[in-house]
Structure 1
């Protein structure tokens, strides 16, 4: 753990000594990745993939949270919990969402501005995740949801929100994270049509990679654009997007290939996994 993290923890414990049990959970996540930027990329990827799976663009042609039904928006939290637990290799908790060491921890996700805390999570450690698709930002923190940090009022389900003062008690792992961009949400109509209107999946993918050079492109986005079950074939050679782009002096690197990943890291990309592709000029 770096000196910046240590000094942050020291200051936090000086202010909230009774929250010492958060430290082991904090260290689990901060030591999971090689750097803060890698942790940001991992958690940002969890949120991005979860949102994209619920939006389900390949089958629905939707690309924004606003287009979801109310029940689908509710399911985002469940999807985030499942992907989060799987990504970090954690087991389900005895009474809450997951186990970290011997501690039961709940996962609370929101696409709004606050979290709703059920009665069973009061006095328990909660992982707080907040994503803002419009601003391409997210937050990731820890909080013991004691009565003092919660607003008094309850909703119809008996859940309470975190108070303004309570938010000051959050132990942040990523306070101002960059959520991988929802490409089609932020595209103009002309660019969206240019990428999506061609009939061939290879052509659509070539248009996507050409338009977003030197940016991490997630596997889910590739699937959305290809709109075919064998979408990976539309990237490879033999008539795929790679062949089309090679004629323009561009190449597509994949995080699942050892040589490609090494090239991407040399170019300064962090948090690259098998889920990522990047289009770069051929060197």
Structure 2
């Protein structure tokens, strides 16, 4: 079976004059009306993809950060979360299928690996489907509408479901086409080292080792929470007194937070970081070192 996420998504042939255009345009316009316009769809939908993937991975509790670490059942949960996010975002009621849009029952189908699988009750009458896919390595996503015509589908599997033929992708009317979604916050970190550190005790040593290994990398709050997953007060392990900041300062490493590090970053001419993020830095020059000393960001 052709894997959609490894192939180039084909451009749509669905324009006025295409046999499916009128039916699909009606569903598309219904989606856009519920969403408040195309701009709103492009703003909200990509973030929902990221949220759904991270919700199922659950890095804070499990330490898993990549889709290949999920089993097949868990991957279906990603699709279910996306379905829920889309339904809540549109505010569309649930009918005989997943959604009622423009007076029609519409199935939502998501895939991470293979073709969308269409059930018999949907292709029996060539009902419309809202199809969704994403490429995690490229952080791009698609959402479109298609009719479940038999001509577009492969032979049924044991459950009677049929996959969409690779060349039938041209019969999808795209609402979102190759849009970027937020990249994983974990992508810049050595996850092998990270998961080994999750077992290190005490938590302060663990935090100090992590930031010592990730100088000049912005560390989001959720990464700290996952690193210190077994601590009642994870952020306490980053403080100066009996925390990682106190361990790192004598080494010339300043551990800054977005909310309390602005003064230091400004003095060094460095960009600000988000309020809920953290950053370990060292002096690049002797002038930087003196600045850090004067601001009590490091110990002499």
Instruction: Tell me whether the two structures share a fold, i.e. TM-score over 0.5.
Output: yes
The equivalent of 2:249 in structure 1 is: none
Q: State the shift of 1:89 in Å.
A: 1.7
Looking at structure 2, the residues matched to 140 and 13 of structure 1 have their Cα atoms a distance apart, in angstroms, of: 17
Q: Aligned in 2, Cα 1:98/1:160: closer, same or farther, shift over 3 Å?
A: same
The equivalent of 1:104 in structure 2 is: 105
Q: Aligned in 2, Cα 1:252/1:157: closer, same or farther, shift over 3 Å?
A: same
* Alignment map for 1:156-235 (pairs within 5 Å): 156-185=158-187, 187-188=189-190, 199=203, 211-212=217-218, 224=226, 227=229
Looking at structure 1, the residues matched to 19 and 132 of structure 2 have their Cα atoms a distance apart, in angstroms, of: 23
| Aligned 8 A contact 2:106 2:127 in 1 | yes
Q: CA RMSD in A?
A: 4.1
Size of the alignment, in residue pairs? 239
**What SS is found at the alignment partner of 1:211?**
coil
Structure with bigger RCO (C-alpha 8 Å, 6+ apart): 2
The equivalent of 2:258 in structure 1 is: 242
**What SS is found at the alignment partner of 1:248?**
helix
The equivalent of 2:29 in structure 1 is: 27
Looking at structure 2, the residues matched to 43 and 220 of structure 1 have their Cα atoms a distance apart, in angstroms, of: 22
| Aligned 8 A contact 1:117 1:160 in 2 | yes
Q: Aligned in 2, Cα 1:140/1:183: closer, same or farther, shift over 3 Å?
A: same
**What SS is found at the alignment partner of 2:138?**
coil
The equivalent of 1:55 in structure 2 is: 57
Looking at structure 1, the residues matched to 42 and 23 of structure 2 have their Cα atoms a distance apart, in angstroms, of: 23
Q: Aligned in 2, Cα 1:13/1:242: closer, same or farther, shift over 3 Å?
A: closer
| Aligned 8 A contact 1:132 1:138 in 2 | yes
Looking at structure 1, the residues matched to 165 and 277 of structure 2 have their Cα atoms a distance apart, in angstroms, of: 41
Q: State the shift of 1:149 in Å.
A: 1.1
Looking at structure 2, the residues matched to 229 and 15 of structure 1 have their Cα atoms a distance apart, in angstroms, of: 62
Q: Unpaired runs of 5+ in structure 2?
A: 1-10, 238-244, 246-255, 279-300
**What SS is found at the alignment partner of 1:12?**
coil
Q: Aligned in 2, Cα 1:139/1:233: closer, same or farther, shift over 3 Å?
A: farther
Larger Rg: 2
| Aligned 8 A contact 1:112 1:132 in 2 | no
What is the TM-score of this pair, normalised by structure 1?
0.67
Q: Aligned in 2, Cα 1:35/1:95: closer, same or farther, shift over 3 Å?
A: closer
| Aligned 8 A contact 1:64 1:185 in 2 | no
Q: Aligned in 2, Cα 1:59/1:12: closer, same or farther, shift over 3 Å?
A: same
Q: Aligned in 2, Cα 1:149/1:179: closer, same or farther, shift over 3 Å?
A: same
**What SS is found at the alignment partner of 2:92?**
coil
CA distances 1:40-90 after superposition (whole Å, capped 9, x unpaired): 331111111111111111110110111112221222221211121112222
**What SS is found at the alignment partner of 1:42?**
helix
